[in-house]
């Protein structure tokens, strides 16, 4: 088997998209106006590039004249991000190699070997963030998603057994999102569709307008993977109220991810989506899991008190929909989540290294997870079985990691 006798699947490993992705992959006429990226500490766009010409310490972007995110340029956020990045790169020499290579697929596979990860489902970084503005024109937002998905499919061709991807869709126009989701699953091999937990232009996940997307995903038998945005550009964002105030970055980051996922769980369960779509699967990623047991109790409690007579009836409690159809990712060092795993059972949990984001734990992510006081059977479920069931990925006959990581160099 792979590391310490376990097969390991990363539920949410990240690609770091190059600056020129959209300049190369956007359809015409949109290619004439691609997103531009910069670091929040830079005086103007285009300064301070890395070895591949990508904006170093990406903290902002400009798309159709719109600035993303709202906190770009806030000094505290800039300094804290820079320091976090410095510490992460000091942990292992591979970070410098991967950065010099623009975090390409070959360097990602080597990072997976170092950690002992057999398969990874790849989620974007900028691929999500470029869509995080309510005022993007719907046709342009859809073009941004198409370009990203074509690039992601090419990225995963480096090793399609080990690299899978979740397709990005733009919820600015649901009909376009449905069309793109179908294309990515049926033509490009996507194993999931990325969901933004925040409302876009005030549209909630359980609003009637989103029904065609849930119908399609149920038909295609692929999950929706909800992943927080990582910035404050959307108008309805839990971290936005802290922009411009002291210590914005740690406060907003602590609040945004779990709170936005709580809202998504509420919409999917209490909003009636899973009542109408009993075969739809959903994952809630990168927002920790130690709060889950309490949140499901809270939703049940409030439904029993206030649900009767509401616009949509439910035949089960919200927590029962979650147990039937949902998964949540815990952090590798999230000791409080151990109690939740023991309370609920391990069947609902997956895990991610969060490589190569600077707040991840590479190269010790899997080691940290194995250090949590979990039973062997719980670890096997969380590290492989649940993720394989979520994404419908077959278990290989043998581990896919290389016994000795294949070293790549910056010059290749």
- Can you give the pLDDT at residue 186? 99
Reported as a single tens digit per residue, the pLDDT across 275-331 is 999 999 999 999 999 999 999 999 999 999 999 999 999 999 999 999 999 999 999
| Both tokens assigned to 178 | 């449905």
pLDDT at 229: 84
Q: Which CATH architecture has domain 3-14+97-391?
A: Alpha-Beta Barrel (3.20)
DSSP string, 353-389: --TTSTTS-TTSHHHHHHTSS--HHHHHIIIIIHHHH
Q: In this structure, what token pair is assigned to residue 212?
A: 């065609």
Q: Is the Cβ–Cβ distance between 271 and 316 less than 8 Å?
A: no
Between the alpha carbon of residue 374 and those of residues 292, 361, 402, the distances in Å are 17, 19, 26
Question: What sign does the CA torsion over 16, 193, 334, 119 have?
Answer: negative
Mean pLDDT of the chain: 90
Q: Which helix (H) or strand (E) holds 330?
A: strand 326-330
Residue with tokens 């059977």: 377
Check: CB of residue 299 under 8 Å from CB of residue 319: yes
pTM of this structure: 0.92
Which residue ranges make up each domain of the chain? Answer: 3-14+97-391
- Which parts of the chain have pLDDT scores under 50? 1, 40-49, 53, 55-57, 73
Contact of 381 with 345, CB cutoff 8 Å = no
């Amino acid at each position: 088997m792979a590391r310490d006798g376990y097969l390991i699947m990363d539920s949410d490993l990240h690609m770091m998209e190059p600056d020129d992705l959209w300049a190369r992959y956007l359809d015409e006429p949109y290619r004439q106006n691609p997103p531009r990226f910069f670091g929040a500490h830079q005086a103007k766009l285009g300064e301070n590039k890395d070895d591949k010409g990508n904006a170093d310490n990406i903290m902002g972007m400009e798309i159709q004249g719109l600035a993303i995110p709202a906190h770009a340029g806030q000094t505290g956020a800039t300094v804290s991000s820079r320091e976090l990045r410095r510490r992460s790169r000091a942990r292992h020499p591979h970070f410098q190699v991967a950065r010099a290579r623009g975090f390409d697929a070959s360097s990602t596979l080597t990072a997976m070997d170092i950690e002992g990860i057999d398969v990874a489902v790849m989620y974007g970084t900028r691929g999500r963030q470029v869509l995080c503005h309510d005022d993007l024109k719907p046709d342009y937002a859809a073009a941004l998603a198409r370009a990203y998905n074509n690039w992601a499919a090419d990225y995963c061709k480096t090793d399609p057994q080990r690299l899978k991807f979740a397709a990005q869709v733009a919820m600015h126009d649901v009909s376009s999102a449905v069309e793109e989701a179908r294309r990515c699953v049926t033509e490009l091999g996507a194993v999931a569709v990325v969901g933004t937990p925040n409302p876009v232009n005030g549209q909630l996940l359980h609003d009637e307008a989103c029904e065609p997307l849930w119908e399609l995903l149920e038909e295609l038998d692929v999950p929706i993977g909800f992943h927080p945005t990582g910035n404050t550009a959307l108008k309805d964002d839990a971290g936005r109220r802290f922009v411009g105030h002291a210590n914005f970055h740690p406060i907003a980051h602590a609040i945004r991810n779990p709170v936005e996922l709580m809202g998504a769980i509420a919409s999917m369960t209490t909003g009636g989506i899973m009542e109408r779509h009993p075969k739809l699967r959903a994952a809630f990623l990168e927002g920790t899991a130690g709060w889950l047991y309490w949140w499901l109790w809270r939703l049940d409690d409030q439904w029993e008190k206030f649900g009767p007579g509401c616009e949509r009836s439910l035949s089960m409690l919200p927590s029962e929909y979650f147990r039937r159809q949902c998964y949540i990712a815990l952090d590798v060092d999230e000791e409080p989540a151990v109690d939740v795993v023991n309370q609920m059972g391990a069947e609902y949990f997956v895990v991610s290294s969060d490589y190569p984001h600077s707040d991840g734990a590479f190269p010790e992510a899997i080691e940290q997870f194995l250090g949590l006081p979990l039973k062997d059977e719980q670890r096997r479920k969380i590290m492989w079985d649940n993720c394989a069931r979520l994404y419908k990925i077959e278990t290989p006959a043998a581990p896919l990691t290389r016994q000795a990581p294949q070293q790549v160099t910056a010059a290749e």
